[in-house]
Amino acid sequence: MAQITNSTRSTPRPYRARGGTFDLRPFQESTCVSSARIVYGDVVQFDVNVATANHRIVKSSTMANVPNVLSTAFLGVAVEASADVGSTIGAASEGGGSKLVICVANKDTEFVFPSKATGAQHASSLVGQRRAIGYDSTLSMFYIDVANSTGGDASLVITELVDDAGTSNGRIAAKFLSTAVARLVSAAY
């Protein structure tokens, strides 16, 4: 069986969409968070911690000492990075600052996630299962946590093994659960 080595380049990304077109939308970053720069492949959500910024986005984060990311305000996955000072990355916004393009986690979109699955865990029996999103702070990567089967932590439903069964750290396709995404996205399903 094959083995994939995760690195800082292992990130979630859009995989496929019913109808063939991803729903890409620009959202303004929250100015209330300065240390959590958004990069390509980050799972993002509305800023639910600051009432005056709840229409802006932040990188999803975990609770202290817990690798799982829990939210009911996920928007999707960033397909570009935050602008550095002096950078021109990001679309200009009317309110100043920049907007980042996000692939929205709607009912028609699947994403491919890296995993930290052993060869034995990376099995076809995962398809249809609900699993959590994890975050590895050492590699700065979001991944699908196939070892966590706690129902309350589930944010994704697995739709396909992208790599052959038995592949260590194999990639897995999944959709966001409607209960985990922001109402802006989930209102359609």
b/e string for 74-91 if b means 16 or more Cβ within 10 A?
A: bbbbbbbbbbeeeeeebe
Print the domain residue range for 36.
17-106+181-186
Asked whether residue 2 is domain-assigned, the answer is no
As for how many domains the chain has, the answer is 2
Asked whether residue 84 is domain-assigned, the answer is yes
- Taking the CA atoms of the chain, what radius of gyration do you get in angstroms? 16
What CATH number does the domain containing 127 carry? 2.40.340
| Predicted TM-score (pTM) of this structure | 0.86
Q: How confident is the model at residue 171 (pLDDT cuts 50, 70, 90)?
A: very high
Q: Same structural domain for residues 89 and 134?
A: no
**Pairwise pLDDT comparison (91 vs 169), residue with the higher score:** 169
Asked whether residue 3 is domain-assigned, the answer is no
Q: Same structural domain for residues 24 and 53?
A: yes
Q: Same structural domain for residues 80 and 151?
A: no
Q: 47 CB contacts (<8 Å, ≥6 apart)?
A: 30, 32, 33, 53, 54, 56, 57, 58
Rounded to 10 degrees, what is the CA torsion of 110, 53, 135, 5?
A: 60
Is the pLDDT at 12 greater than 90? The verdict is yes
**Pairwise pLDDT comparison (137 vs 109), residue with the higher score:** 109
Q: Same structural domain for residues 61 and 117?
A: no
Asked whether residue 169 is domain-assigned, the answer is yes
Q: Same structural domain for residues 120 and 167?
A: yes
Question: Which has the minimum average pLDDT: 5-14, 87-96, 169-178?
Answer: 87-96
What is the rounded CA–CA span in Å between residue 27 and residue 184?
12
Q: Same structural domain for residues 84 and 117?
A: no
Cβ distance 70 to 90 under 8 Å?
no
Q: What are the structure tokens assigned to 58, written together?
A: 């932040």
Asked whether residue 79 is domain-assigned, the answer is yes
Asked whether residue 8 is domain-assigned, the answer is no
Asked whether residue 4 is domain-assigned, the answer is no
Q: Same structural domain for residues 117 and 90?
A: no
What is the rounded CA–CA span in Å between residue 89 and residue 98?
8
Q: Same structural domain for residues 156 and 82?
A: no
Q: How confident is the model at residue 131 (pLDDT cuts 50, 70, 90)?
A: very high
Q: Same structural domain for residues 22 and 102?
A: yes
Q: Same structural domain for residues 138 and 154?
A: yes
